[in-house]
A and B are shown apart, each in its own frame.
Chain A
């Protein structure tokens, strides 16, 4: 940040945070992620003036293509996927001026020194000052090869004292704890931890960040945010979509790896963490890791008790017939991959001991909804017993991530009239009705943070590993159990009946979000 700090005109400007001029090298430049998410997000940042002048992109992919052809390809993607339409010619012209294409194979050793030459040219011509981001938008099996080649060409090190080099790694970070540790060890041979940005786009969502503000900027919730007042927590990530052409990947991953290990464990850690000492990357991540490490180990013999698996069969979504999972393209017709999972975790620390955290996620559920429900305990003395007990439900605080982002508190209120009748009413704050502004896409926020060197919303090594530990324990337990009878729920329902029985055994029930 030296360049910006020495510019006296920058002091005191009240505008957004602006990164240093830099270049982003995207490995997998012809891939879906680049075209659907990364470049539209970068264009939107450029439109809003959040990219520095001189910002450049180098697309790295195998297919031979000229700079001009690559720009035309990216332009088509921006036109299709950007939240801003139509494309703005002036913004596009200035954005496209910094786009280059580098055709090479990751396996070609001689390509990487040439990539270094191109980056040096951009430093001279576009003033990118040696600041580089290497974005691995490629399947995980290519990570090691690319990282090794970068290091061999000396591209993992800054070229001058004020320059920086960062590496962005997409999920999945491994497929179990052992592979995650191995991957982390490998990356750390060549990049320091502060150079590595492990991206989980859920953390870029405004409402996920709002949980931190809700918990730690409001004094009234923290005193009751513990086992003394909370009965249990339910985290639901329901999707109405199926696997959307990702059959090859999904059939190997399943819901536990695809959703729980990353997105849901992030939500869990943000809900369960202790207050950090500062709103900065490491203090926040320290607390998240502590919460994850406190998750009670799941013994193989407990896995059947603490988890439920499901796989959808044919059914209806919104009145439209949809195929079952096994009928989806590129899915093994005898697949035993779970598309639904429900589990119960405990966090063994002073705040949460014996409070169950129920997590459930699934595909082809009736509606898309992500929410966290904090169910408070019943009142200690049932004052209205007999006269109005039927209406008295425990308070529930619902943090809705999507859609209708907001926070609602269910409270009991007297129905007006001569009799004492009690009903639960919903007191809601809807993000969208108080701040009716379009939130930026999660990737916009995360890419900008990466350029700014702010890793608060990225997962640290110990965080990914701590999140893998219970997941790996469950995977091991499942491996030792006979495969369930799949499919066991119809598309368009709230999951297998076993999931309802699972929570009912504890005297509780799933919310109908």
Chain B
């Protein structure tokens, strides 16, 4: 797939701040570009389509380069106006605001139309977090949903962050990147009701990644011959990936346990642990004890903080069932179920899930507009686990 790109830096106006009107004017001029030609010389109509405005906030040049790569991939499937907001790191922080506009198009062989999207890149200065919403609001395309993808670790405890969130329809962040996972999670949990009151939807990619795990868990108990096991679970073991360079981030696991607890009315009674292995005792609605283990295991960088396996055991009147859900190490978009019952009858089941592919996960996020009530419930339930685990992880 060929690509054409046309861009220009913006002429600086008076003072250190960027001028939104100039951005719009320069973009309008760029769109005057006549039709392009494909490799065979055939005319291709450049097609301007936007389905949303996507703001992406990054810190530093490394993240900016990563984000550009993501934007390019996302925009080939979801043409948008993209505004890349770069906050310089450390010594660069005194820089003046700077902006550049560009139009990028993908030329697919044989197609008569080339979808194009526009990108605005703004380099902020350190004071800009306070003023960020005043940049975001006028740059959002009218009548289309606006998303803010906070690619950097979000300053959830900063009041300015909350103001920025309120400037868009939906905020996407990823708790797998939290600097202090449990403390940041608890702070985020406290912010959620306020954002919800102001109709800003917040979504955590780390929660969305649980979808295949939830689906696989639910499907096991859809099978008529194993439905009894849901009320007879005795053990749950959850393994998460961990690299020694970073503190353990158990948030994906505790969101999963929060969801299970919420759905099955389980109550936490006891906890014990070390810095990478925790045992939680919970009780079901019939006072039945369920033993949970949460383990960290060494993994490659990309899987750090991600669920690797979930194992269940259920027992009732001579019947027993064990099942394990595993994320494939080689093909990370695949989850596999292996189920074995007391007659040693086995079942294998495997599928690929869009939510385990980072690009498709983001695309799905950009297509959903309503809040996920299960998320709010799971966060509420997971708070207690986060507080307990803080004893060993803070």
Q: How far is the CA of A48 from the CA of B219 in the complex (A)?
A: 14
Chain B CB within 8 A of A282 CB: no
Task: Name the prevailing secondary structure of the B interface residues.
Answer: mixed
Please tell me which one of the listed residues B212, B222, B350 contacts residue A7 in the complex, with CB atoms under 8 A apart. B222
Question: Given the complex of chains A and B, what is the CA–CA distance between A90 and B218 in angstroms?
Answer: 20
The reply to whether the CB of A33 lies closer than 8 angstroms to some CB of chain B is no
When A49-B353, A53-B349, A433-B115 are in contact, do A3 and B222 touch as well, CB less than 8 Å?
yes
Instruction: Judge whether A7 and B49 touch: CB under 8 Å.
Output: no
> Which listed residue, A47, A49, A129, touches B215 by the CB 8 Å rule?
A49
In the complex, are the beta carbons of A53 and B222 less than 8 A apart?
A: yes
Known: A49-B351, A91-B351, A97-B348. A8 touches B263 (CB 8 A): yes
What total of chain B residues lie within 8 Å of the partner, measured CB to CB?
50
A158 within 8 A of B: no
> Which residues, 1 to 38 on A, are CB-close (under 8 Å) to B?
3-4, 6-15, 18, 20-21
- Check: B77 CB closer than 8 A to any chain A CB: yes
Chain B residues with Cβ below 8 Å from A49 are 212, 215, 335, 351-353
Q: Say yes or no: A14 contacts B47, CB within 8 Å.
A: no
A73 at the interface (CB under 8 A from B): no
Check B76 against A90 for contact (C-beta < 8 Å).
no
In the complex, what distance in Å separates the CA atom of A52 from the CA atom of B226? 14
Question: Which residues from chain B contact A6 at a C-beta distance below 8 Å?
Answer: 227
Query: How many Å from the CB of A290 to the closest CB on chain B?
Result: 34
Give the residue of A47, A48, A93 whose beta carbon is less than 8 angstroms from that of B348: A93
B217, B221, B351: the one contacting A47 at CB < 8 Å is: B351
B224 touches A90 (CB 8 A): no
Shortest CB-to-CB span from B171 to chain A, Å, is: 18
Q: How many residues of A contact B (CB 8 A)?
A: 44
Q: Which residue of chain B has its CB nearest to the CB of A123?
A: B224
Known A53-B223, A129-B224: A12·B373 in contact at CB below 8 Å:
yes
The verdict on A108 contacting chain B, using a C-beta distance below 8 Å, is: no
B103 → A minimal CB distance (Å): 14
A404 within 8 Å of B (CB atoms): yes
CA distance A94 to B76 in the complex (A): 33
Return the contact of A94 from the options B211, B260, B328, B349 (Cβ within 8 A). Answer: B349
CB contact under 8 A between A46 and B227, given known A8-B264, A404-B112, A436-B78? no
Q: Is A480 an interface residue (CB 8 A)?
A: no
Within 8 A of B (CB), among A41-96: 46-54, 88, 90-91, 93-94
Chain A residues closer than 8 Å to B328, beta-carbon distance: 90
Would you call B230 an interface residue if the criterion is a C-beta within 8 Å of the partner chain's C-beta atoms? yes
In the complex, what residues of B have CB within 8 A of residue A20's CB?
Answer: 222
B135 at the interface (CB under 8 A from A): no
Q: Please tell me if A430 contacts chain B, counting CB pairs below 8 Å.
A: yes
CB of A125 closer than 8 Å to a CB of B: yes
Asked if A297 CB lies within 8 Å of chain B CBs, one says no
Write the chain B residue with the least CB distance to A20. B222
- Complex partner residue of A13 from B77, B218, B224, CB under 8 angstroms: B218
Task: Kindly provide the distance from the CB of A428 to the nearest chain B CB, expressed in whole angstroms.
Answer: 8
B91 within 8 A of A: no
Give Cα A407 to B230, complex, Å: 49
Partner of B218, one of A9, A51, A126, A433: A9
Q: Which residues of B contact A437 (CB under 8 A)?
A: 77, 363
Q: How far apart sit A7 and B218, CA to CA, in the bound complex (Å)? A: 7
CA distance A21 to B220 in the complex (A): 11
- Cβ of A172 within 8 Å of any chain B Cβ, yes or no, is no
Q: Are B211 and A7 in contact (CB under 8 A)?
A: no
**Any A CB within 8 A of the CB of B51:** yes
Bound Cα distance from A15 to B215, whole angstroms: 8
How far, in angstroms, from A52 to B220 measured CA to CA in the complex? 9
* Min CB gap B356→A, angstroms: 10
Q: How far in angstroms is the closest Cβ of chain B from A513?
A: 14
User: CB < 8 Å: which of B334, B345, B354 contacts A90?
Assistant: B334
A15-B214, A49-B215 given; 12 more Cβ-contact pairs under 8 Å: A3-B224, A9-B221, A18-B215, A49-B335, A53-B337, A53-B347, A54-B223, A91-B350, A91-B352, A404-B112, A432-B115, A435-B78
> What are the 10 tightest A-B residue pairs by CB atom distance, in nearest-first order?
A49-B351, A127-B223, A433-B115, A9-B218, A53-B349, A90-B350, A436-B77, A12-B374, A94-B350, A10-B218
A-B contact pairs, 17 of them (CB 8 A): A7-B221, A7-B227, A8-B230, A9-B218, A9-B221, A10-B218, A12-B373, A13-B214, A13-B218, A46-B351, A48-B354, A49-B351, A90-B336, A91-B351, A94-B336, A432-B111, A436-B79
Residues of A within 8 A of B (CB): 3-4, 6-15, 18, 20-21, 46-54, 88, 90-91, 93-94, 97, 124-127, 129, 404, 428, 430, 432-437
